[in-house]
Structure 1
Amino acid sequence: MSRSPQAKLHPVPVRAVQLTGGFWAQRQRLTIERSIPTLLTLLEEHGVVDNFRRLGSTTNYVQRRGPLYTDSDLYKWIEGAAWSLASKPDVKLEATIDQLVDVILAAQQPDGYLNTYWVEDRAGQRWQQQTGGHELYCLGHMIQGAIAYYRVTGKRKLLDGSIRFVEYLLRETGPGKQPLLTGHPELELALAELYRTTGDARYLKLSGYLLSGVEQERLKLRPSQLEYMFSGSPFVERTHFEGHAVRALYAATGAADYYLETGDAAYWKTLERLWADLVGGKMFVTGGVGSRASGESFGDSYELPNRQAYTESCAAIAGFLFNQRMLAATGDAKYTDVMERALYNGINSGMSLDGTLYCYRNPLASGGEKIRNPWYDTCCCPPNLQRTFAALGGYFYSTSKDGLWVHFFDNSKLDWKLESGTRIQTETKTGQPWTGDVEIVVSPEKAETFTLYVRIPSWSEKSVIWINGKPAEQKWTPNSYVALRREWKAGDQVRVALDMEPRLLRANPRVPEDYGKVAVQRGPLVYCLEQEDQPGTSVFDAAISMPAALVPEEKAGLLGGITVLHHKGLTFGSKVESAPLYSTKEWTARTPVDLTFVPYYVFHNRGPAHMEVWVPAVAAATVPKNQLAQ
């Protein structure tokens, strides 16, 4: 977005940020060293790579394996592996990617078309099942993987192959030709990125064509299809999020990219309306998205179930990307706040602490069913998580015409340049997300006046900032950026003390499952009760005693090193299971019990167990009438 006309903020390259230790460096290292290599082994074992080999080789391979969209899984893996090279160069991994690129392009048809499913006896069905064929979805991820690899290594073989496919589309499809539909939106944002990479405006125009819905009549789409796919009708006529959550949020991300390049006011008005719909009634406290397993879809506003929540990992990532574009357009911290909520909770939960198990869905309560698995036939989430964690540094900072923006706090070094051209280095040291102390050392190559924008999170109600040991003069509020404008010299120090007091969150009373309950948050992390930490008490019988006192304790040897929260709570007692389902009596929680909360992202890392995020809150050892034990 460095040249996007409507982008107020411009991301820094992934290679410009080094995570130097601590929370996210550990997750990124695990992604690079464990997750990426083991997933490639699984992609090989399940035939995903052979699906390409069989088309480009004279060797007799078995028939194609897996669902029709598996090509995209390999492309996403390549993107994640490419970003990992920006953080940790690896000659062997780069050679592996080069070999895979050759395998992929050997399967490309002479006219530029490339898909391992719609070939041979299915070749005559190309573009005939666009509502579910995933042809353009796979191409979108091919483009994104190719661009990532090109930006990191300068190698453009896969990028050129992607362009050949897009040129095929420009020749053979469009108004007056074969109509196009992204039954699963993804290509829209990939085309915007291809335009940014090549400067060819035809690619952006093609993205606008896909978003325009001009082919609705020719495609003869039903209202239910338009709702589910979140494509096929004019994007600017959308009033709320509906249908398949990942598709809808990818469509919105692509539309935001289109706005950033064109400035079309109708798109911005629609994007703001959709964002308000998302955060006003359709986003979980973990930043997860998608209420219904049926169709992996949004529900109605305030339909936010806990145990039945679908909350696909890919949907949380899609929401993260959507908010990143909205942030770039405005510099408004409310978008960063949503990004942070999703990243630390609903995205971070998607990969296990050992990097080999993944959540497809991330519910907010569990009866002990197995949720983490090493492989899914629909393997979209694992490589999506990998490309997110591998590229993390690129989301931490931005530049604007007047300065540098700090979005998230983690131990890191930035080596980039201000938009004035002045080289700048920063080093951040912090104990986030466990402690609230942050130190940022700012070192421009020469003394220069600019603004350092430091985000004050919504969860930090009492923040303090010092510059070179003196209190900052600027005023600020939670969920905003404090603008520190001055002449900065090498070695200038900014210290931030964030408020880490645990908070109890209450849902809107229109969310029926959470009425009378609270969720616990400390810093950016949402917490949960997991059965292993509550010996002798079912998590579903526990209640928070109000007013609540939550006491942090650092547990270096537990679950990779976490801070737990202890609470003197109450329980409904052991007779709940044997009690009548319905009763006229008032339920009471009288028995004291020691409760231990752990961060939500670590749930089920010790195996399947009962778990819940939203816990009944009771005062004076009683429960309000009709508030029964879960």
Structure 2
Amino acid sequence: MAGPIAPTANAAARWRPVAARITGGLLGERQRVNGEAAVPSGPKRLESAGNLDNLRIAAGAPGDRRGPVFMDSDVYKWLEAAAWEYTRHGSPALLESQRQVTSVVAAAQHDDGYLNSMVERRYADLPWSHEHYCAGHLMQAAVAQARGTGDRALLDVAVRCADHLVATFGTDRRHDVDGHPVVEMGLVELFRETGTRAYLELAKYFVDARGHGLMEGYGQEPTYFSDRVPVREQTTVEGHAVRAVYLAAGAADVALETGDTGLLDALATQFDHMMATKTYVTGGLGARWDREAFGDEFELPADRAYAETCAAVGGIGWAWRMLLATGDVRYADAAERMLFNGFLAGVSLSGTEYFYVNPLHLRPGAHPDENRSPAHGRRGWFSCACCPPNVMRTLASLGSYLATADPDGVQIHLYAPSTIEAGEIGLEVETAYPWKGRVRVRVVRTPDREWTLALRVPGWTGAGGYRRERRRWEPGETFDLDLPMPVRLTTADDRVDAVRGCVAVERGPLVYAVEGTDTLHLIDAGAAEFRPDLLGGVTTVALTGEDRGPAAPGVTGPYRSTTQTAAIPYFAWANRGVQPMRVWLPRARI
């Protein structure tokens, strides 16, 4: 079964995704609660927020529309999540729920293929209307439904919508782009599913048309919309973080399917600059609440970090496409950092509450002055609810991001207890990752020839790359990888003014955080201990620090005392109520 990204046979892909099923461990638990609690709750959320009613109104029912202009996209992201979740357990109830929602969507479509429940005048305000954005998510959901359930009802809707876009936009038709990229990814995946090359050509047009002043034609400042510099000339990411990484992921899809090495090289330059200068240690993307944007180089304030959960989703997707195109381990390293830290922090351990914004520092008594503020704690939904269904669809399809294959064998990039099916090759992965560094791969099925098994050695080990073993394998044979997992203290770059002189605690792929205090100055990091009774089972790191606070009444000078505390994985913070938290810890001067 193909996952959400399935390059064609003619794509210029170094590696191709293969089917994997996560069977346990941390990621398996995150998938379990997503499938049992979050995804089934989607239709109720969409009913109460008005998303489904908006579509019914568009189909002719009476009523008043509710919510932001992009409300339809939440429906499509949930439909995608439902389709991938169905592939995991085949729930008849979930399939029926998906079909009911699909029928609501189909009824709202116009005869010419146009579909949007919130826009009265078509394409009159493309910077803000999100019409292509919603269409792109529709296409991704339709492909998921076709691949995951065999049902083509939504695919028929998406094809009609895509045909309408092809007839409307392009070099010799209306020369314009949407303010929020994602249609590029949707069109390419629809091309991969249907073979209709016009969809790929339109995606390429949308990529190439951006950066030539189209947003300025609407009186808009172009940076926010990734429209200041042509994609092929960009050397970094800028503007609205989610828009920027969605555009880059779509451009990577175009490069994969067209063999455009120049475009791919430009994307590699942008990705490297983003990781080196505009990415938080957690893999979070987007430094500014103002316009949800990337900031300047090394503008990475911990307490005002935006690091939207959707940006982590987009970052993982971009990294994975670059990995498929190049086979370069740095993209797998980046995807792992974003997944285990910046993304997993966006959803509660219960699976049903979400962070929109993922800071690296929360001060005592922080006032929740805005709907998205982390000071509220995670929330069940938002007035702008892009993040919850984005989390649902990513977790439901997570098995598609573990492994790849090429004619020479199989490559495993992200580690979880799992089964992997790659044509003639069947594998089982046994591991307690990310808590322990042992990864054992057992050969279940093998062809009668030599082939290569490659296991990623993460960059955080100091010796990144792939450990490869080529031979004629026998069923039952195992291949072990032992990754050292000492506690690491990562020093902040001096150019990041907000955390100069601070360190972050890391172990394996995980970034750690200290909850309950805002005043700890680190003296030493000690032993790691697995705590099955804590936060669903996590490994903590013992810290010795100096607790510095304001002077107590009647005391001269600031308060200081040596204290011991346990750092927890960043992704697990705020699951015991909202408390002060920080990732970057000042060094104690002793």
Task: Settle same-fold status: TM greater than 0.5.
Answer: yes
Task: Indicate the residue corresponding to 2:548 in structure 1.
Answer: 572
Q: Partners in 2 of 1:294 and 1:218 — Cα distance?
A: 22
Could you say what secondary structure the match of 2:283 adopts? coil
- Matched residue type, 2:262: A
Contact 2:532 2:538 in 1 (8 A): yes
Contact 1:310 1:362 in 2 (8 A): yes
Inter-CA distance 240–224: structure 2 relative to 1 (3 Å threshold): farther
1:543 is matched with which residue?
Answer: 521
Which secondary structure does the structure 2 equivalent of 1:260 belong to?
helix
The amino acid that maps onto 2:245 is L
Q: Secondary structure at the match of 1:564?
A: strand
Q: Which SS does the other structure have where 2:340 is aligned?
A: helix
Kindly indicate whether the alpha-carbon contact (under 8 Å) linking 1:79 and 1:387 is maintained by their aligned counterparts in 2: yes
Contact 2:17-2:401 within 8 A present in 1 as well: yes
Q: TM-score, with normalisation over the residues of structure 1?
A: 0.88
Q: Which amino acid aligns with 2:521?
A: A
| Structure 2 residue corresponding to 1:614, chosen from 552, 570, 584 | 584
CA separation of 1:204/1:615 partners in 2, compared to 1, >3 Å: closer, same or farther? Answer: same
Secondary structure of 1:435's match? coil
- Aligned pair 1:115/2:116, yes or no? yes
Match of residue 561 from structure 1:
537
1:17-36 aligned at under 5 Å gives the runs 17-36=20-39
Q: Distance in 2 between matches of 1:152 and 1:433?
A: 29
Corresponding residue for residue 420 of structure 1 = none
Answering whether residue 36 of structure 2 is matched by residue 51 of structure 1, we say: no
2:528 aligned with 1:552: yes
Structure 1 position 319 matched with structure 2 position 315 = yes
User: Is the alpha carbon distance of 1:357 and 1:612 closer, same or farther for their aligned partners in structure 2, counting shifts above 3 Å?
Assistant: same
Contact 1:453–1:484 (8 Å) recurs in 2: yes
Q: Distance in 1 between matches of 2:216 and 2:300?
A: 33
C-alpha spacing 1:164/1:511, structure 2 compared with 1 (3 Å): same
CA deviation after TM superposition for structure 1 residue 356, in Å: 1.4
* Percent identity of equivalent pairs: 38
What residue number does 1:265 align with?
Answer: 261
Report the Cα distance in structure 2 between the residues aligned to 1:554 and 1:364, rounded to whole angstroms: 23
Q: Deviations over 1:276-310 (max 9, x none)?
A: 21011000000010000010000001000011000
Residue 496 of structure 1: how far off its partner (Å): 1.6
Contact 1:446 1:490 in 2 (8 A): no
How far the C-alpha of 1:231 sits from its partner, in A, is 3.6
Amino acid at match of 2:353: L
Counterpart secondary structure, 2:481: strand
2: CA distance, partners of 1:89 / 1:434: 30
Unaligned runs of 5+ in 1: 418-422, 462-477, 532-538, 622-630
Q: Distance in 2 between matches of 1:570 and 1:232?
A: 47
| Distance across 2 between alignment mates of 1:244 and 1:570 | 39
| Structure 1 residue identity aligned to 2:42 | L
1:391 aligns with 2:397: yes
| Structure 2: segments with no counterpart, 5+ residues | 1-6, 367-374
Q: In 2, distance between residues paired with 1:374 and 1:217? A: 39
What SS does structure 1 have at the residue aligned with 2:376?
Answer: coil
Q: Write the letter of the residue equivalent to 1:287.
A: G
Structure 1 residue 273: deviation in Å?
1.5
Cα distance in 1 for residues equivalent to 2:172 and 2:228 = 16
The answer (yes or no) to whether the contact 1:346–1:601 under 8 Å persists in 2 is yes
- Distance in 2 (CA, whole Å) between partners of 1:435 and 1:394 is 23
Letter in 1 for 2:418: S
Corresponding residue to 1:198 among 191, 194, 197: 194
The match for 2:178 is 182
User: How far did 1:424 drift?
Assistant: 1.5
Equivalent positions of 1:178-577 (< 5 A) are: 178-213=174-209, 216=212, 220-221=216-217, 225-231=221-227, 234-367=230-363, 368=366, 369-417=375-423, 423-461=424-462, 478-531=463-516, 539-545=517-523, 548-575=524-551
Q: Structure 2: how far apart are the matches of 1:43 and 1:517? A: 43
- In structure 2, relative to structure 1, the CA distance for the partners of 1:217 and 1:348 (3 Å cut) is closer
Aligned-partner Cα distance in 2 for 1:579–1:394: 59
| Contact residue 210 and residue 227 of structure 2 kept, 8 A | no
Is 1:605 aligned to residue 581 of structure 2? no
| CA drift at 1:416 | 3.0
Q: Which amino acid aligns with 2:491?
A: R
Asked if 1 retains the 8 angstrom alpha-carbon contact of 2:491 and 2:504, the reply is yes
Q: Amino acid of the residue matched to residue 575 of structure 1?
A: A
d(CA) in 1 for partners of 2:282 and 2:407?
A: 33
Deviation at 1:486, TM superposition (A): 1.4
Amino acid at match of 1:605: N
Look at both structures and tell me which one has the larger radius of gyration over its CA atoms. Answer: 1
Are residues 1:594 and 2:564 paired? yes
Matched residue of 2:217: which SS?
coil
The superposition leaves residues 331-366 of structure 1 with CA deviations (integer Å, 9 ceiling, x where unpaired) of: 111111110001001000111011111000000001
How far residue 591 of structure 1 moved from its aligned partner, in angstroms, is 2.6
Distance 1:239 1:577, change over 3 A: farther
For residues 310 and 200 of structure 1, what CA distance do their matches in structure 2 show? Answer: 39
The 1:65–1:613 alpha-carbon spacing in structure 2 relative to 1, beyond 3 Å, is same
Residues 165 and 605 of structure 1: is their aligned pair in 2 closer, same or farther, counting only changes over 3 Å? same
Q: Which residue of 1 aligns with 2:99?
A: 98
Q: What is the one-letter code of the residue matched to 1:561?
A: G
State the alpha-carbon separation in 2 of the partners of residues 24 and 147 from structure 1. 24
Structure 1 residues 578 and 82, CA gap change in structure 2 (3 angstroms): farther
Contact 1:150–1:159 (8 Å) recurs in 2:
yes
Question: AA paired with 1:607?
Answer: G
Q: Could you tell me how far apart the structure 2 residues matched to 1:164 and 1:2 are?
A: 22
Q: 1:579 to 1:216 in 2, by over 3 A?
A: farther
Paired residue type of 1:433: P
> Which residue of 1 is the match for residue 82 of structure 2?
81
Using the TM superposition, give the Cα deviation of residue 552 of structure 1 relative to its aligned residue in structure 2, in angstroms.
1.4
RMSD of equivalent CA atoms: 2.0
Offset from partner CA, 1:313-347 (integer Å, 9 cap, x none) = 00011111111111111111111111000100100
C-alpha contact 1:526 1:599 (8 A) present in aligned 2: yes
Does the Cα contact within 8 Å between 2:292 and 2:306 map onto a contact in 1?
yes
Q: What is the Cα deviation at residue 232 of structure 1? A: 7.3
Amino acid at match of 1:562: V
Q: Deviations over 1:524-558 (max 9, x none)?
A: 11100000xxxxxxx2221111xx34211221111
Matched to 1:563, the amino acid is T
Q: Distance in 2 between matches of 1:577 and 1:210?
A: 64
Q: How much has 1:481 moved relative to structure 2?
A: 1.0
SS of the residue aligned with 1:128? coil
* Residue 220 (structure 1) shift: 4.6
Classify the secondary structure of the residue corresponding to 1:149.
helix
Who is 1:627 aligned against?
none
8 Å CA contact retained: 2:232, 2:263: yes
**What TM-score does the superposition give when structure 2 sets the normalisation length?**
0.94
CA 1:372–1:578 in 2, change beyond 3 Å: closer, same or farther? farther
Q: Would you say the 8 A contact 1:573–1:591 is kept in 2?
A: no
